[in-house]
Structure 1
Amino acid sequence: MSSTRARYSAVDGAIDPLPDYAPSGGEFDEVIAPDGSVRPHWREFLDGFAALPEAERDRARGMAARLLRENSVTYVAQGDPEHRDRPWQLDLFPLLIEPSEWKAIEAGLIQRADLLNRILGDLYGPQTLLKAGKLPPSLVFGNPQFLNPCHGIAVPQNVHLHLLAFDIARAPDGRWWVLSDRTQAPSGAGYALENRLVASNSLPGLFAASNVQRLASFFARFSEHFLSLSRHDDPLAVLLSPGPGRTTYFEHAYLARYLGYSVVEGSDLTVRDDRLFLKTIDGLKPVDLVMRRVESEYCDPLELRTDSLLGVPGLVQAARTGQVVVANALGSGLVESDAFLSFLPGLCRHLLDEELKMPGVASWWCGQPQERAYVLDNLDRLIVRNVTMPKTILGPGQDRFIGAELSAAEREALRGRIGREGHKFIGQEPVALSTTPVWLDGQGLRPAHMTLRVYVAATADGYKVMPGGLTRVSEASISQAPLLEQSNISKDSWVLSDEPVDTFSLLTAPHNALRLRRGSRDLPSRTADNLFWLGRYAERCEGTVRLLRSLLTRLHGESDLAAHPVALDRLVKLLVAQEHLSQRRARQAVAGGMGAVEAALGRVLFGRDTPDGLVSILGNVRRTANLVRERLSEDTWQILMELVETVEVSGPGDSLNVDEALQLLDRMIRNQAALNGMIMENMTRAYSWRFLDLGRRLERIRHMVRLIRNLAGRGDPEATGSLGLLLELADSTMTYRTRYKAVPRLVAALDLLMADETNPRSVLFQLNAFETHMSELPSDSSEAIISPIQRIATELHATLRLADMEALAGQSRRDKREKLERLTHKLEEGVKELADLIARTYFSHSMPQHVSGPQWVEMPS
């Protein structure tokens, strides 16, 4: 045992909580003091942690991993061309900050937020700082984040920065330093909130005993103040997102759901007569407040970047006339530039008559001769950044250079760039980061370097700091801030309290009168489109799973099936009918016999390169669910993720194991049943539910008529067993047996599956549900004639009700039932027409228009 550990045990008489933890010398460690003792505010937590049995620790880690997986907490790695979702990594061992130290952090960051807000107000207003020589004009006008069209725009209560963040770190002497200011649209607050929820649920005893300050009231105060800026009662607030596939789209949906805002994209909004509107299925709805996650310059292709596909033409004018409040204000990314760092101490004295309470990293802007000369003379030890590069989610811009790691040739090339374009570069002193324990599987506790992102929000009482933040730790022996930008391991940050903590829960703020409602009519057209397709894909998934299960059961349940090519051909044709196999592959499978058919089923089940296979369908379910995540409850979301991950977790072996495949398909059927139950029993009967269910109903008709045509359209389905398979695939075997107590007969089966209004699987049942939904959706009541959708639905409904089942079951010529085939084709074509008409009526105006030009690369934070 080291002297440090012995000293701790001797003083406290406790189990050594950190037996293998050995911080390196010369750096500040958050837990261990320079004399080897444990810092006082850590002792109670460490005692509790040391007392946890190993089984309890394993349970906590397992729960954390499960919660992150179930909640699909992901991010997209910066620069990943495939925009793949990666799992968020949370180290359960928290960062603890004592109350007195936190008060100093709060005071410093509130002062800094106020200062940056005043600087923005001046630079986009009277520009007295430029006139007085406090800032060089080239620093402002040479910065691409200074947006001239935004100059002169008045903002409510002079608040430009509604939510901002600061990346801070502790130097070896124990002082906190600001590494970076985040004023554009800071990311990570949602991840910090998720970290808190996971950590507090995984280590509930330690969390409760530590008296940790809560986070919910911070978001409540931010939202209450933001909503109060609207000129209208009951304002409509939206979160403007660049869309899925971006680095932090998970957080956009997460925060929107938590705050009660709608997630929208630029194509969901339009400006009319200087007023911003949301395109909904019920017409245009005025938008009062926009919390943007899109960089300012991309927000309006009319006045800002003309090649942007992400913004709303006219948004700047709407803000200029005061018709909409944008947070943060357009152009606020200007002071995010690290070029301002070296000027902040003087600006603080000039504007606030105070010294900066929390210093920034020593920086030299190369746009000034003396500072440029200093940077060039010390290029071998400084860190150089291009301040015109946008900042990424968790770190400054991509274009940065660590002088000590450059070759002589690289250093000379950089020297030339600084000489030619000095205003684009700053030099900074390297910052040696403090260390804190990380708790990794199989490795115990080890020291890792860390930074902390802290969030500040404008409230009715001025700026307030979120008591905690997003702590990031290094994956390896990284001691400098620039390299830590590449890490994706985070921690929860526990700010301790000397007083009882509030247990505030985020509820509707009472700043104005609450108007009672029944449902919400503010459903964006794009969201309705995605819900419609989520319903279609979810139903397609169920149909596919039932089909695969039945086919696998028959392949291995009938010993002589391999000797009957006709029977094999009948089963394979079902896969062709549902577009899971091409005609060519189907012929190859039948010709190859039992083994080839089994291999074909395996490809449909597990094949990742099969366009219409189960994996592809599940991918579409996941994709559309991600697009409407804020519209789904947590339970519904978890059931959906269990469903889509079933095949991913199981995966194929070297060959198809039929027993395991059947167990997997049974599990998927149960998940699908749970999902259907959540949709039918837990979703309010608002537009969201109606479009989701509309998709399900149309897809079920499509699936059912294809089954009927292929299993009952020719030959003798009663003798071949096709009729029994048809009833099984329609989940109607028990109903038939209970009703008729006889072997399946075609006329009765057709009536049950096509025209029985009491059977939830019948075609007529789906048409009835479709017409009910359409009667509740918005329509032009001034029209004297029925709409095309109503006309087609009414025609299909009448045709099916008038159909003679005896006539449909009768054979005509060539062993075919031509009347049945014509009816099923008419129903399938009708479904296609209805889907197209719904899209044109409710969804088409939400599609973005194509604008040529370079594409936006990545959303800065």
Structure 2
Amino acid sequence: MASLPAPSLLDAGIHAQRWIAAYCQQPLHGDVLAAGRDRAAWTAMFEELAAVAGDDLGHARERVQRHAEDIGTGFRIIGESDERPWPASPVPLLIGAAEWAGIAAGVAQRAELLETILADLYGEAALVRRGLIPAALVGGSPYFMRPMVGLVPPGGHHLNFIAVDLGRGPTGEWRVLGDHLRAPIGAGYALENRLAVSRTLDGLQSRLNVARHAPFFAAFREGLAAACRRVEPRIGLLTPGRYAASYTEQAHLARYLGLLLVEGDDLAVLEDRLYVRTIGGLKRIDALWRRTDPRMLDPLAFDSHSRIGVPGLIDAMAAGEVVIANAPGAGVLESAAFGAFLPALAMRLTGRDLILPNIATWWCGQDGALAAVREDFDALLIGPAFGVAPLGLPGGVALHGSDITGAARALLLDDMTRRPEDYVGQEVVRLSTMPVVADDRLVARPFTLRVFAARDAKGDWTIMPGGFARIGDDSDPRANVMGEGSWSADVVIHGAESVEQVSLLPATDSVHIRRNPGTLPSRVADNFFWLGRYLERGEALLGVIRVMLGNSIDADAGAGLHSATVGKLVGLVVNAGAAPHPPSLRRSDLTQFARTALEADQQYSSVRWLNRMARGIGQGSRDRLSADMVRLLDAPMPTRGGMLDRAGSLQRRYAALSGLSAEHMGRTASWRFHDLGRRIERALVVTRALWAFGLTGASADDLSTLLDIADSQISYRQRYLTGIARVPVVDLVALDPGNPRALAFQIDAICAHMKALPVLGDDGMDEAQQAQAAGLMAIVSTATAAGLDADMLADIERRLFALSDAVARRYFLQGAEPLRAAGMTLA
């Protein structure tokens, strides 16, 4: 009888117990797993992990990371152009429901306290008058917005959404490390962590009764809507753009919550109301969840140099016509210095101590606190009071006093004497640890917890059950050493009671059916239009390069093309701006010429340059493009093989992108602008190819090359068996409406898009862009192959450029001129 495999290879429970036992043998101090309070929950979690990964923890980490990348999670370090993948840990942080109830109560208490203080600072300022808050603490903050004084935000609240960073001490107590009130980051990452871990540990939800995130996000969305004046408000998420460090998170949140992702250039204020520029005119915006620096919001109210703000936005807010979450000026309470006063303010304003205490803080702007900091300098953290770097701390980061020595110490103490209000001293916080996978085993690392709170429709605070944990790089438990951490982890709140299956998706029988895909901002339409043009331009350039280097299917053409034909191919590339003219038409010079056109980084209109432009649009359109399309746009240039191989590889990638847009994009206005860009660009490419290779006197090599560029060799061979001739070639490439590469086909498609896109007038008359498309159709539909000459082709090219300009003027609204244009829809 054959022996059975060892139980350890089959039983996930054995793997889990072994992992836990090995982990607990390490020297641990205040570790959440070693404490033993939730040992049954931790065991269940590791059993789920072993059921997926067997005995290979490294595989579990790779699997979660792969899910995070599939979701599209990423972030950008300031100063870097490329995004990094979001570092998700396969091991979530587990917190029991009873412990979490205390945390949630403390965060809600803190949020309401901060709201009360903000209302006073921007209202009566009684706390300053009574000496409970030093005036220098308010006036000295760069985040105190004086134009907001006396302004009551629509809805009555300064805060709608906040984040609080917590640290767990070695004995299990939780304390507040910092508040985030300006534009809190991380809620989307918490959601994405949950998605990645849930896809890996799909049985954990039912085993541990994991609290869900959906009710929190639904409550926040309803809270924003309730603060608006209109019954069915339009809500936007205001982003600084695709170069923001957390842009992918913002795009994910906008998609998940059903918000309109907008930038400052998308918005305009007219008569104290906020509008978004769309392809259908101006559409009303009732609320903004902003993720921009508040100082950049409105150049008329705050920083006049802002290029990403909306002039007049604060006037619209003051008029009660737009809700801004959070209200500008909330960041004044983010400063570390306020931590020295919050405990006393809590007792004074609420009659009770903070449920979640602050870390002990001394603001050096007070004589007694300054003396205490100087006395215990080596035992404290010394940091900036207001979040900006003072002269004595040029890095702007809090440092342990004992680590500041020599000239740096002398500089800091000297500046602290001259400007003590710029500094704080804080106790050194030591953190609990949690298990994380490193080198394919479990190791202990310190962590902090970011918790999120939002107002619901009643104005009450609701707390996201979990948030996300940031995990330190090494075993040093000091909070200031951990910094931003190198990994993140899902935070699972578990309990004995079952959890209702709640989703942001409403019940199917309560949904009002609609086939209108929603509002399309002008900027997004512009981006999709140019994405189509860049991709089509790149594909056409690759086609020319491949023909030039000898990739024709005609056995008599290819490498043996006549020099005159090769010269015309070179002219197409040069005129496109992809490469300067080669010194000769020898094979070696043509190869180098092709390499420049393909790979030159700074060459305008090279394939690499076109790829970079398309990639930038893709990164800025994550809320509207599939993950597969973004992944193809992000793919690097091929490096293997010769020029023909690389060009072929890239052309196949372009074909895949074309297929995705043709077969997977809904027939919305976004798709129409994308396809319109493709059709206009392809029409220009065909027109120029006809001009170069299809006029009277064209050689056989010219005509064969024209068929190659138009990807019509096979169609011609099937249709005409008597050999190549100019008139039938020109008819197929220019005038055959059944050939998807023909000029006539592109004009037909352009006219169809023009008819389907919205118009402003209701008089039934064609707008400029429609009239120009109809004019093109009239020329092409009445032309004959024999009569198609240089003058007609020049006229068609001019009209295509004019049509592109007309589309831009009508749909890609920019600047102030369209705000009062006749017929603009205001809704």
TM-score (norm 2): 0.89
Amino acid at match of 1:529: D
> Who is 1:554 aligned against?
551
> Who is 1:448 aligned against?
445
> Who is 2:23 aligned against?
21
Seen in structure 2, the aligned counterparts of structure 1 residues 390 and 751 have a Cα distance that, compared at 3 Å, is farther
Q: Is the 8 A contact 2:733 2:743 kept in 1?
A: yes
Give the Cα separation in 2 of the matches to 1:295 and 1:609. 32
Seen in structure 2, the aligned counterparts of structure 1 residues 699 and 308 have a Cα distance that, compared at 3 Å, is same
Task: Quote how far apart the aligned CAs of 1:388 are.
Answer: 2.3
Q: Secondary structure at the match of 2:469?
A: strand
> Which of 651, 668, 671 matches 1:689?
671
Say whether residues 1:69 and 2:66 are aligned partners: no
Amino acid at match of 1:228: A
Q: Is the 8 A contact 1:643 1:672 kept in 2?
A: no
When structure 1 is superposed on structure 2, of 311-320 and 739-748 the one drifting more is 739-748
> Who is 2:774 aligned against?
794
Q: Structure 2 matches for 1:363-512, cutoff 5 A?
A: 363-389=361-387, 398-440=396-438, 442-460=439-457, 462-507=460-505
Q: Is the 8 A contact 2:106 2:354 kept in 1?
A: yes
> Who is 1:256 aligned against?
254
Seen in structure 2, the aligned counterparts of structure 1 residues 596 and 480 have a Cα distance that, compared at 3 Å, is farther
Q: Secondary structure at the match of 2:477?
A: coil
> Who is 1:352 aligned against?
350
Seen in structure 2, the aligned counterparts of structure 1 residues 208 and 569 have a Cα distance that, compared at 3 Å, is farther
Counting matched residue pairs gives 801
Q: Is the 8 A contact 1:117 1:161 kept in 2?
A: yes
> 1:322-360: CA deviations, max 9, x gaps?
111111112111111221112111111111111111111
> 1:411-464: CA deviations, max 9, x gaps?
221112222222222111111122222224x44222222111111111135211
Q: Is the 8 A contact 2:159 2:325 kept in 1?
A: yes
Q: Secondary structure at the match of 2:442?
A: strand
Seen in structure 2, the aligned counterparts of structure 1 residues 832 and 46 have a Cα distance that, compared at 3 Å, is same
Give the Cα separation in 2 of the matches to 1:445 and 1:567. 69
> 1:92-111: CA deviations, max 9, x gaps?
22211122211111111111
Seen in structure 2, the aligned counterparts of structure 1 residues 521 and 16 have a Cα distance that, compared at 3 Å, is closer
Amino acid at match of 1:666: R
**Structure 2 alignment gaps of length 5 or more:** 1-10, 819-827
Say whether residues 1:677 and 2:663 are aligned partners: yes
Amino acid at match of 1:445: L
Q: Is the 8 A contact 1:240 1:265 kept in 2?
A: yes
> Who is 2:692 aligned against?
710
Task: Quote how far apart the aligned CAs of 1:371 are.
Answer: 0.7
Say whether residues 1:183 and 2:167 are aligned partners: no
> Which of 612, 633, 657 matches 1:644?
633
When structure 1 is superposed on structure 2, of 446-455 and 797-806 the one drifting more is 797-806
> 1:463-494: CA deviations, max 9, x gaps?
11111112111223443223322434211112
> Who is 2:529 aligned against?
532
Seen in structure 2, the aligned counterparts of structure 1 residues 313 and 329 have a Cα distance that, compared at 3 Å, is same
Say whether residues 1:519 and 2:516 are aligned partners: yes
Give the Cα separation in 2 of the matches to 1:666 and 1:620. 19
> 1:35-94: CA deviations, max 9, x gaps?
xx983431222234345544875665444343433444222213x1x4432222212222
Seen in structure 2, the aligned counterparts of structure 1 residues 571 and 238 have a Cα distance that, compared at 3 Å, is same
Seen in structure 2, the aligned counterparts of structure 1 residues 12 and 767 have a Cα distance that, compared at 3 Å, is closer
> 1:733-772: CA deviations, max 9, x gaps?
4443444455443322222222222333221222222223
Seen in structure 2, the aligned counterparts of structure 1 residues 48 and 690 have a Cα distance that, compared at 3 Å, is closer
Seen in structure 2, the aligned counterparts of structure 1 residues 56 and 677 have a Cα distance that, compared at 3 Å, is farther
> Who is 1:837 aligned against?
806
> Who is 1:47 aligned against?
47
Give the Cα separation in 1 of the matches to 2:816 and 2:575. 29
When structure 1 is superposed on structure 2, of 837-846 and 163-172 the one drifting more is 837-846
Task: Quote how far apart the aligned CAs of 1:790 are.
Answer: 4.0
> 1:645-697: CA deviations, max 9, x gaps?
4444xx314x6275576456435423432332223xx233xx33332222121
> Who is 2:230 aligned against?
232
Q: Structure 2 matches for 1:722-761, cutoff 5 A?
A: 722-741=702-721, 743-761=723-741
Q: Is the 8 A contact 1:149 1:303 kept in 2?
A: yes
Task: Quote how far apart the aligned CAs of 1:541 are.
Answer: 3.2
> Who is 2:166 aligned against?
168
Q: Secondary structure at the match of 1:472?
A: strand
Seen in structure 2, the aligned counterparts of structure 1 residues 73 and 147 have a Cα distance that, compared at 3 Å, is same
When structure 1 is superposed on structure 2, of 149-158 and 287-296 the one drifting more is 149-158
Task: Quote how far apart the aligned CAs of 1:190 are.
Answer: 0.8
Task: Quote how far apart the aligned CAs of 1:231 are.
Answer: 1.2
Amino acid at match of 2:66: R
Seen in structure 2, the aligned counterparts of structure 1 residues 758 and 664 have a Cα distance that, compared at 3 Å, is closer
Q: Is the 8 A contact 1:471 1:493 kept in 2?
A: yes
Seen in structure 2, the aligned counterparts of structure 1 residues 642 and 49 have a Cα distance that, compared at 3 Å, is closer
Give the Cα separation in 2 of the matches to 1:386 and 1:608. 42
Seen in structure 2, the aligned counterparts of structure 1 residues 694 and 121 have a Cα distance that, compared at 3 Å, is same
When structure 1 is superposed on structure 2, of 146-155 and 568-577 the one drifting more is 568-577
> Who is 1:131 aligned against?
129
> Who is 2:824 aligned against?
none
> Who is 1:858 aligned against?
none
Q: Is the 8 A contact 2:278 2:813 kept in 1?
A: no
Give the Cα separation in 2 of the matches to 1:727 and 1:562. 16
Q: Secondary structure at the match of 1:492?
A: strand
Give the Cα separation in 2 of the matches to 1:659 and 1:272. 55
> Who is 1:624 aligned against?
617
Q: Structure 2 matches for 1:192-203, cutoff 5 A?
A: 192-203=190-201
Give the Cα separation in 1 of the matches to 2:662 and 2:222. 36
> Who is 2:750 aligned against?
770
Give the Cα separation in 2 of the matches to 1:469 and 1:848. 44
Amino acid at match of 2:804: A
Seen in structure 2, the aligned counterparts of structure 1 residues 209 and 766 have a Cα distance that, compared at 3 Å, is same
Q: Structure 2 matches for 1:206-217, cutoff 5 A?
A: 206=204, 208-217=206-215
Give the Cα separation in 1 of the matches to 2:287 and 2:427. 40
> 1:682-714: CA deviations, max 9, x gaps?
233xx3333222212111111222222233346
Q: Is the 8 A contact 1:143 1:334 kept in 2?
A: yes
Give the Cα separation in 1 of the matches to 2:658 and 2:679. 15
Query: What's the C-alpha RMSD, in Å, of the aligned pairs?
Result: 3.3
> Who is 1:336 aligned against?
334
Q: Secondary structure at the match of 1:97?
A: strand
Q: Is the 8 A contact 1:61 1:92 kept in 2?
A: yes
Task: Quote how far apart the aligned CAs of 1:286 are.
Answer: 2.0
Q: Secondary structure at the match of 2:222?
A: helix
Say whether residues 1:828 and 2:797 are aligned partners: yes
Give the Cα separation in 1 of the matches to 2:302 and 2:440. 51
Q: Is the 8 A contact 1:112 1:356 kept in 2?
A: yes
Amino acid at match of 1:245: Y
Seen in structure 2, the aligned counterparts of structure 1 residues 131 and 371 have a Cα distance that, compared at 3 Å, is same
> 1:271-293: CA deviations, max 9, x gaps?
22222222223222222111111
Q: Secondary structure at the match of 2:101?
A: helix
Amino acid at match of 1:699: E
Seen in structure 2, the aligned counterparts of structure 1 residues 286 and 785 have a Cα distance that, compared at 3 Å, is closer
Seen in structure 2, the aligned counterparts of structure 1 residues 287 and 375 have a Cα distance that, compared at 3 Å, is same
Task: Quote how far apart the aligned CAs of 1:788 are.
Answer: 4.3
When structure 1 is superposed on structure 2, of 303-312 and 783-792 the one drifting more is 783-792
Task: Quote how far apart the aligned CAs of 1:841 are.
Answer: 2.9
When structure 1 is superposed on structure 2, of 108-117 and 770-779 the one drifting more is 770-779
TM-score (norm 1): 0.86
